[in-house]
Amino acid sequence: MSVTYTFPKGFWWGSATSAAQIEGASNVGGKGKSIWDHWYEQEPYRFYGNVGPTTASDFYHRYKEDIRLMKAVGHNSFRMSLAWSRLIPEGRGKVNREAVDFYDRVIDELLSHDIEPFITLFHFDLPMAMQYEGGWESRRVVDAYVEYANVCFKLFGDRVKKWFTFNEPIVPVEGGYLYDFHYPNVVDGRRAIQVAYHTIIAHARAVEVFRSLAIEDGKIGIILNLTPSYPRSQHPADVKASKIADLFFNRSFLDPAVLGEFPPELIDLLNEHGHVPVTQKGDAETVQKNKVDILGVNYYQPRRVKAKEHVPHPDSPFMPEWFFDHYEMPGRKMNPYRGWEIYEKGLYDIMLNLRDNYGNVESFVSENGMGVQNEERYLKDGQIQDDYRIEFFREHLKWLHKAIQEGCNVKGYHVWTFMDNWSWMNAYKNRYGLVYVDLETQKRTPKKSAEWMRAVSEQNGF
């Protein structure tokens, strides 16, 4: 088969997952409770089909089989997260030996299959003990996170060389403090700003600790879900609205992580409205000194924005939406199941922005994928025929290839996700995996897209 789109030598092909979404065993092996275990106990009806994280895809018990399959579908790298509440059940203090053994075995198993582990320290699953202390609103929780990071670097840094402090740190801010889809379900713009600020400080301090340990060949970064912000028109009011959306949802984390400074326009805006977070002396220097080595880009959808039609009442709660309205562009291509727009060129636009405005930081696509409901209907001859997903990957990869041709410093492409997994409030509603998981039996069956991805990684292109 001839290859039209060839990627740079050594390109990382693989997938991403997170602990709470695949491990299951939520009350096994000495694990403490995370906010998800707690929330599910409190309000199971808020989760699709009343399904919680208790069993997920049972990676905790089936990791050997899963890693064998990863190899079979051509992975040379794989991103997973560590569960803070498994390693340090109370959030701070005693380290759980059983958890260390588990992660040691997983890392060793990956390496023995020549699959490079990429580790995320935090993927949405705060230990409940830390939430009781105030969650990310508390500076003490920041300290506990930095200590957790230190423990992980020391335990696994001899073998793990790619580390990521946070996955999509804006999402717990949005879900937990603005739009009610993560615990603790607060809706309060002011508190959201404090949470975001503390997350950035936690990130920078973890980077600082990492550097102090001088882990051989180690690189550290962050994973951001970047949503390129497109205005409805070139009218200045629409353009201004899209710039503000970009400030809140992209640049709030991207600028401090990559450039080492908060966007001045964001600071001005927050000052103007009296919503600056509480800071501590030395924070700005910490952020300045601890820029990332590498940036993971999760890309699912763009953000389309128009100027505000009605000025919000000054007494209404402060929200990012004070400054823009969402815009449903006529004719846009949608994933009808997840309700997200599919706009492949967005990936190219992100990469060019990183090239031109962020020092061409080393990056990779750390998540890109398509969630589909009731996927069993595409079952034929014992396999899910997910041609739509192949097309989704292919079209995004074409734009990524073009970005690389034009000088973008992109090192890999990880799909979301390896196998169907449990997903927060949506549980198993939308399936994203290359591998189908039968939830009754936990049997794994590669989908057609897994075969396609295997060929892509084998040929380093398509």
DSSP state of 277: P
Task: Provide, rounded to whole angstroms, the least separation between the CB of residue 176 and ligand BG6.
Answer: 14
CB of 381 to ligand BG6, least distance (A): 28
- Determine if 250 is a binding residue for ligand BG6 (CB under 6 A): no
Of 85 and 423, nearer to ligand BG6 (C-beta) is 423
Residue at shortest CB range from ligand BG6: 423
Residues facing residue 341 across a β-bridge? 334
Region near ligand BG6 per CB under 6 A, out of 45-53, 84-92, 106-114, 166-174: 166-174
Map the footprint of ligand BG6 across residues 253-272, applying CB under 6 A. none
Bridge partners, 383 (sequence order): 380
User: Token pair for residue 331?
Assistant: 């004719």
Residue in the structure block whose two tokens are 């997952």? 17
| Euclidean distance between CA atoms 296 and 162, whole angstroms | 11
For 375, half-sphere exposure in the C-beta direction (CA atoms, 13 angstrom radius) is: 29
Binding mask 20-59 for ligand BG6 (x = CB under 6 A): -x--------------------------------------
* Cβ atoms of 208 and 290 closer than 8 Å: yes
What x/- string results for residues 309 through 348 when contact with ligand BG6 is judged by CB under 6 A?
Answer: -----------------------------x----------
Beta bridge partners of 80: 119
Q: CA–CA separation, 99 vs 96, rounded Å?
A: 5
430 lies in the site for ligand BG6, by CB under 6 A: yes
The answer to the question of residue 225 lying near ligand BG6 (CB under 6 A) is yes
Q: Report the alpha-carbon distance of residue 443 to residue 437 in Å, rounded.
A: 6
Q: Taking the complex as a whole, how short is the minimal distance between the CB of residue 171 and ligand BG6, in angstroms?
A: 6
Q: Is 395 a catalytic residue?
A: no
Which window, 65-73, 268-276, 407-415, 419-427, contacts ligand BG6 (CB under 6 A)? 419-427
Distance CA 229, CA 220 (A): 27
**Contact call for residue 420 and ligand BG6 (CB under 6 A):** no
- Shortest separation between residue 2's beta carbon and ligand BG6, angstroms: 34
Nearer to ligand BG6, 327 or 432 (CB): 432
In what order do the strands lie in the sheet containing 325-326?
229-231, 303-306, 325-326
Which range in 204-212, 406-414, 418-426, 437-445 contacts ligand BG6 by CB under 6 A?
418-426
Q: How far apart are CA 389 and CA 383, in angstroms?
A: 14
Residue 155, amino acid: L
The closest alpha carbon to 403, from 2, 3, 7, belongs to: 7
- Please report whether residue 301 would count as binding ligand BG6 according to CB under 6 A: no
Comparing CB distances to ligand BG6, the nearer of 37 and 168 is 168
**Catalytic residue chosen out of the listed positions 367, 375, 391, 440:** 367
Q: Do residues 357 and 246 touch, judged by C-beta distance below 8 A?
A: no
Distance CA 336, CA 296 (A): 26
From the CB of 354, what's the least distance to ligand BG6, in Å? 19
Residue 45 or 382 with smaller CB distance to ligand BG6: 45
Q: Would you say 131 or 167 has its CB closer to ligand BG6?
A: 167
Window contacting ligand BG6 (CB under 6 A); options: 92-100, 129-137, 165-173, 373-381? 165-173
Residue 18 in contact with ligand BG6, rule: CB under 6 A: yes
Count of residues of this chain found to bind ligand BG6 when the rule CB under 6 A is applied: 15
Considering only 3-11, 65-73, 158-166, 416-424, which stretch makes contact with ligand BG6 by CB under 6 A? 416-424
Cα gap 288→216, rounded to integer Å: 23
Can you tell me whether residue 232 is helix, strand or coil?
coil
Contact status, residue 166 vs residue 156, Cβ threshold 8 Å: no
Sign of CA pseudo-dihedral 317, 320, 324, 326:
negative
The answer to whether residue 426 forms part of the interface with ligand BG6 (CB under 6 A) is yes
Residue 367 touching ligand BG6 (CB under 6 A): yes
Of the candidate spans 1-9, 167-175, 258-266, 281-289, the one that interacts with ligand BG6 by CB under 6 A turns out to be: 167-175
Which residue, 413 or 424, is less far from ligand BG6 as judged by CB? 424
* Of residues 35 and 215, the one with the C-beta less far from ligand BG6: 35
Q: How far apart are CA 152 and CA 160, in angstroms?
A: 10
> Which residues contact residue 2 at a Cβ distance below 8 angstroms, ignoring those fewer than 6 apart?
none
- CA atoms within a 13 Å half-sphere pointing along the CA-CB vector of 10: 3
Cα separation, 24 vs 43, whole angstroms: 18
Contact residues for ligand BG6 (CB under 6 A)? Answer: 18, 21, 167-168, 171, 225, 298, 338, 367, 371, 416, 423-424, 426, 430
- Return the active site residues: 367
